[in-house]
Amino acid sequence: MYNPKSMQAEEFISHDEILETLDYAEKNKHNAELIDSILEKARQKKGLNHREASVLLACDLEDKNQKIYKLAEQIKKDFYGNRIVLFAPLYLSNYCVNGCVYCPYHFKNKHIPRKKLTQEEIRNEVIALQDMGHKRIAIETGEDPVNNPIEYVLESIKTIYSVKHKNGSIRRVNVNIAATTVENYKKLHDVGIGTYILFQETYNKESYEALHPTGPKHNYKWHTEAMDRAMEGGIDDVSLGVLFGLESYRYEFAGLLMHAEHLEAVHGVGPHAISVPRIKKADDINPDDFDNGIDDDIFAKIVACIRIAVPYTGMIISTRETEDCRKRLLHLGVSQISGGSKTSVGGYFNPMPEDENSAQFDVSDRRPLDDVIKWLMEMGYVPSFCTACYRSGRTGDRFMEICKQQQIHNFCHPNAIMTLKEYLEDYASPETKEIGYKLLEKEVKTLEDAKIKKIVEENLVKIESGVRDLKF
């Protein structure tokens, strides 16, 4: 039985409820009256439940779909303005004991070079990331209690925060490591991580078990209840995701929303962000071997429907996707993207061709960060390197509260402007600088609150004279 308040994975992600939801959505996909009423509710910008959102996802009435896209764009603007937050992944180790059939790190893969960065190598990676202009990273490892124990992850995080090169600093380390214990989540919280990220991969238990045939990740319950343990350990920003292509996308969509409903119901705070990765070609992995691949149109519809269903959550798209695809999804709801990413272990400092072999998947958007920044600004977006919220204690329910009241602009927009200014001063190419300074001028003018505007103007002058890390 479906019970979002239950702490049992099989109850808050109820298989029967998902099947009933999909059936309901299929039966109502042409029900114009129902779709209109769901859209009406969605216009209040308080979100939708998994059943309502599943009807929108299934809907194939062209005029209604156009309304869905328009509403997603509007919600995106209302909650996130024109800001796009930038980050980069940092792969620490690709040693892994799991047998995930879609991932090149699976332990049976004997031809992928296995690597684990030393603390000195991590320093080099961090300097390379700082020299690009990054302030926010997501660390990634395979699961291997011998090679990548929690102590290694903790030590690495401390190293990352300790590196101060020129004007650079990594101010927020998000963590994407395998499901672990409450005790270990506490340790991660204590070293000051930002968000804990864990992709469910698939919400379908049977498929999950088949796709993870061996290793600790095989345990569906352990994996699915990880976010509850993370919250219990004090981490109040968690990020969900599924790997699209493994299971039917409608099943995953309903499961994802049920997971968000569960976090809200139990912890009073939904996911800080949702990632929407699609399966990619990788060493020993051919995406065509999986039957549930989705095309760009369905992908766009999923993003729009998530945006409408969970307006307060950030949405993340990585360099797995092409420039064109990312452009389309930015309009529909994505608020965070990676840029200049390397998915190989040690790939930033030492981008050797052979390093590419240790990569987790092929990257489709290979542009340097500066090109991505310029591209965003040319489209009217304000690239943001902001990490202020979490460092000012605006996390979990405090962040959600401000966000749900659509007040987060008062913090995010000034911080976006100031961190973009830092980027332009320290790292931008002359062409990017030229576009950037014009954009900043325009953005400062649009700040409505006179007090905030004055502080931002003063801070921009301070940044010009070399002061860094000013924040709201």
- For ligand SAM, the binding residues in 172-191 under the rule CB under 6 A are 176-178
Nearer to ligand SAM, 101 or 182 (CB): 101
DSSP 288: G
Confirm or reject binding of residue 355 to ligand SAM (CB under 6 A): no
- For ligand SAM, the binding residues in 239-258 under the rule CB under 6 A are 243
Q: How far is the CB of 143 from ligand SAM (least distance, A)?
A: 5
| Residue 306 to residue 263: CA distance in whole angstroms | 16
- Kindly indicate which of the ranges 107-115, 131-139, 195-203, 295-303 contains the residues binding ligand SAM, using the contact rule CB under 6 A: 195-203
Helix (H) or strand (E) holding 426: helix 409-426
- For ligand SAM, the binding residues in 376-405 under the rule CB under 6 A are none
Helix (H) or strand (E) holding 441: helix 430-445
* x/- letters, 297..326, toward ligand SAM (CB under 6 A): -----------------------x------
Nearer to ligand SAM, 82 or 275 (CB): 275
Residue 173 structure tokens: 């380390």
Nearer to ligand SAM, 278 or 413 (CB): 278
Which CA distances in Å does 31 have to 24, 25, 58? 11, 10, 11
Q: DSSP characters for 2-54? A: --TT-SSHHHHT-HHHHHHHHHHHHHTTT-HHHHHHHHHHHTTTS---HHHHH
Confirm or reject binding of residue 360 to ligand SAM (CB under 6 A): yes
| Residue 226 to residue 139: CA distance in whole angstroms | 18
Residue 121 structure tokens: 């190598």
Nearer to ligand SAM, 142 or 414 (CB): 142
SS3 state at 372:
helix
CA angle 260, 189, 226 (to 5 degrees): 40
Residue selected from 52, 140, 283, 355 as contacting ligand SAM according to rule CB under 6 A: 140
Q: How far is the CB of 100 from ligand SAM (least distance, A)?
A: 7
Nearer to ligand SAM, 24 or 107 (CB): 107
Nearer to ligand SAM, 81 or 194 (CB): 194
* x/- letters, 272..291, toward ligand SAM (CB under 6 A): -----x-xx-x--x------
Where does 81-134 have alpha helices with state H?
Answer: 119-132
- For ligand SAM, the binding residues in 82-111 under the rule CB under 6 A are 102-103
Confirm or reject binding of residue 423 to ligand SAM (CB under 6 A): no
Confirm or reject binding of residue 115 to ligand SAM (CB under 6 A): no
Q: How far is the CB of 242 from ligand SAM (least distance, A)?
A: 8
Residue whose structure tokens are 């002061």: 467
Tell me the CA end-to-end span of the chain in Å, nearest whole number: 45
Beta bridge partners of 104: none
Confirm or reject binding of residue 361 to ligand SAM (CB under 6 A): yes
Q: Judge whether 253 and 22 are in contact, CB under 8 Å.
A: no
Which residues of this chain interact with ligand SAM, rule CB under 6 A? 102-103, 140, 142-143, 176-178, 198-199, 201, 217, 243, 277, 279-280, 282, 285, 320, 360-361
